[in-house]
Amino acid sequence: MIPKTLARYMPILDWGRTYDTGALSNDLIAAVIVTIMLVPQSLAYALLAGLPPEAGIYASIVPIIFYAMFGTSRALAVGPVAVVSLMTAAAVGQVAESGTMGYAAAALTLAFLSGVFLLILGFLRLGFIANFLSHPVIAGFITASGILIATSQVGHILGIKSEGHTLIHRLESLWHNLGQMNLITAIIGIAATAFLFWVRKGLKPLLRSYGLGPRLADVITKAGPVAAVVATTVATWGLGLADRGVAVVGEVPQSLPPLTLPDLSSELVGQLLIPAILISIIGFVESISVAQTLAAKKRQRIKPDQELIGLGMANVGAAFTGGYPVTGGFARSVVNFDAGAETPAAGAFTAVGLAIAAVALTPLVFFLPKATLAATIIVAVLSLVDLSILKKAWGYSFADFLAVAATITVTLAMGVEAGVSAGVILSIALHLYKTSKPHIAEVGLVPGTQHFRNVKRHAVLTSPSLLTIRVDESLYFANARFLEDYILDRVVQDCPIRDVVLMCPAVNEVDMSALESLEAINTRLKELGVRFHLSEVKGPVMDRLKKTHFLDDLTGEVFLAQFDALAALSPETAKAA
C-alpha cells in the first residue's frame, strides 16, 4: 500500500524502474544543450526579477531536481521564466527596494507561498482551477506581458534608467532619461539584439546549407546567446568598457545554492499572498499547456493534479535555496524536447550542469554587459507577443475579442497583477454571460427519421398543440429564470398549445435554483391548462430529480426519447413522418 502511495506522488518511482542506457544517453545530450541555453537565460531573468544574477542559477538547480522527482512531464524544463520574473518584480517591488536583503527575502517568501498554494491545490485535486482562465485571456495577458518585459529592458540596452510597472510609466521614464544614454552600451545592446534575432531566424538555415546535420545545426543555434555573451564579455574586458560607463554583471558568488529561509512574518505574508496566488495560477497554466502539448507528440499522459505537486515542490525548493518563483518554461521545454529528452532525469542532469557552472564559471561573467542580458530577454519574450489574437478573436467571437483587448489594455495600463486579476474576472464573467442566456431551440421531427432539429434551420414536422423546446446548456442559477421566461412567453403567445416538452440531452446538471424554476414552469403551465413533460434526461440528472417532489408534481411525463413523446402526445404527426 505504501509503495503505491509513494509512486502516485513520486512518479520517479515509476519511470525510474525502466530507466536504461538509451534513455541515459538521450537525457545527457538534452541536458548539455539546455544547460548551455540556461546559463545566460537564468542570469537575465534574475535581473528582470530585480534580483542578483546568481538567483537565476540558484532557482534553476534544486527546483529542477524536485520537479524531476514529483512531476509527470518527461520534457518540461522548470526554472525562471519571463512572465513570472516580471510578476515577481512587480509583487516584491511593492514591499521592498530592489538590491536590499529585504527584497531577496521577500522573493523567497513569494516562492514559498506559491509552492504551498500549488501543493494545496494538488493534494485537494483542484487542477481544474486553471480553467477559470480562458485561452483568449491567457493569450492577451502573455502578449501584454511580453510587451512590458521588452520595454523594461530597453533601458539596459541604452544604458539609462527605466522605472515603472506600466507601459506608460516605462515609456515616460525612457523618454525623460534618453539624454543620459551611454553610446557604447547602446552599440553593444543593439548589436547583441540584432545578432540574436539573426541567430534565431537565419543561423540554422545557413548551417544546413553548409552541410551540417540537423541535430548539430540545432545545437549551435541554441548556443547563439552563449556566443553573444562570450563576445561582448571579452570585448568589455579587453577594451576596459566597464570604466567607460558600460554596466556589467559584476561579481557573482562562486558557490552552490545556499540554504535560505523565507520570511514568514504575518505582515509580509499578508502583502504577498494574493500575488503568490496569481503567480501560481499563471505559472501553472503556462506550465501545463507546454507539458500537455509536448506529451501529446509522444502519446504520453500528463496528470494536472500531480503537476501541481511537482511545481509546488519546485517552488518550495527555490524558497530554501536562494531562488524565486519558478514554473515550466516554453522555450527551454521545447529545446529539451527537441534535444531528445526521454525522462525527467534530463532536468536533473541539467541541474548538475548548472551547479558546475555556478561553482566554476561565475567569475567569467564579471564583465558581462547587462545590455547583452537585456537583449537575450527581449529576443526571448518578443516571440510571446501575438497581436494576431485580436484579429482572430474579432472574427470568431466579439465577447472573446473584448476579453483579449481588455486584458491587454489593463495589463499594459495598470500592471501585471491587475492584468491577471482582470483576466480571471473576465473569464468567469464571460462564462456566466454565455451560459446565462443558453441557446434554446424549438425543434420538430425530420421527416423519415426519429431525429429532431431546429425549426428555423430545417424542414421539420410539428404539431400546433405540442411545443418541444431543446435547451443546450446545464441549468443553474444564472440561466434558470431565462428558460422560465422563454417557455412561458412562448406558451402565452400560442393558445393551441396543450403540451410542452423540454428536451434535455445537453443538460448535465440541474441545481436548486434551476429546480425551483422547473417547478415554477410546471405550476404556471398547469394554471394555463398546459402539461409539462421532460425527455432524454440523463441518468445523473434523473437521480437528483428523484430525490425531490418535482416528479410527483409533474403534470406530464418523463420520456426516454423525444420520438416517444411525439408518438404519445401527437401520434398523427409521428405517423405523418
Question: Looking at residue 4, what is its pLDDT?
Answer: 60
Quick check: 485 pLDDT over 50?
Answer: yes
Average pLDDT over residues 98-104: 87
* Closest to 423 in 3D by CA, of 121, 145, 163: 145
Amino acid at 216: L
DSSP letter at 130 equals: G
Quick check: 24 pLDDT over 60?
Answer: yes
Quick check: 132 pLDDT over 70?
Answer: no
Quick check: 339 pLDDT over 80?
Answer: no
d(CA 573, CA 577): 7
Helices (H) and strands (E) in the chain, counts: 27, 8
Question: Looking at residue 6, what is its pLDDT?
Answer: 63
Average pLDDT over residues 302-323: 93
Instruction: Work out whether the CA dihedral 232, 234, 238, 243 comes out positive or negative.
Output: positive
Question: Looking at residue 130, what is its pLDDT?
Answer: 67
Average pLDDT over residues 246-273: 91
- In degrees and rounded to multiples of 5, residue 559 shows phi and psi of -100, 145
Amino acid at 398: F
Query: Between the CA of residue 228 and those of 32, 362, 436, 463, 479, what are the distances in Å?
Result: 18, 16, 55, 77, 58
d(CA 427, CA 134): 6
Quick check: 293 pLDDT over 80?
Answer: no
Quick check: 7 pLDDT over 70?
Answer: no
Question: Looking at residue 346, what is its pLDDT?
Answer: 87
Ranges of beta strands (E only) in 401-510 are 440-445, 452-454, 466-471, 499-503
* Closest to 136 in 3D by CA, of 391, 404, 385, 405: 404
Percent of the chain past pLDDT 90, that is, above it, reads 44
- pLDDT tens per residue across span 177-226: 888 899 999 999 999 999 988 988 888 888 888 888 777 777 777 777 78
Q: Which helix (H) or strand (E) holds 533?
A: strand 531-535
Q: What is the dihedral of CA 510, 511, 512, 513, to 10 degrees?
A: -90
> Residue 2 — very low, low, confident or very high, per pLDDT cuts 50/70/90?
very low
* Closest to 284 in 3D by CA, of 426, 146, 420: 420
Q: What is the mean pLDDT of the chain?
A: 87
Instruction: Tell the residue number behind the cell numbers 502516485, with chain if given.
Output: 8
Which of 99-103, 418-422, 555-559 shows the lowest per-residue confidence on average (mean pLDDT)?
418-422
Instruction: Tell the residue number behind the cell numbers 510597472, with chain if given.
Output: 165
d(CA 473, CA 544): 17
- pLDDT tens per residue across span 143-162: 888 898 889 889 989 988 88
Quick check: 1 pLDDT over 60?
Answer: no
Under 8 Å between Cβ of 57 and 318? no
Quick check: 473 pLDDT over 70?
Answer: yes
Which of 393-402, 439-448, 479-488 shows the lowest per-residue confidence on average (mean pLDDT)?
393-402
Query: Between the CA of residue 397 and those of 141, 389, 435, 501, what are the distances in Å?
Result: 18, 11, 15, 31
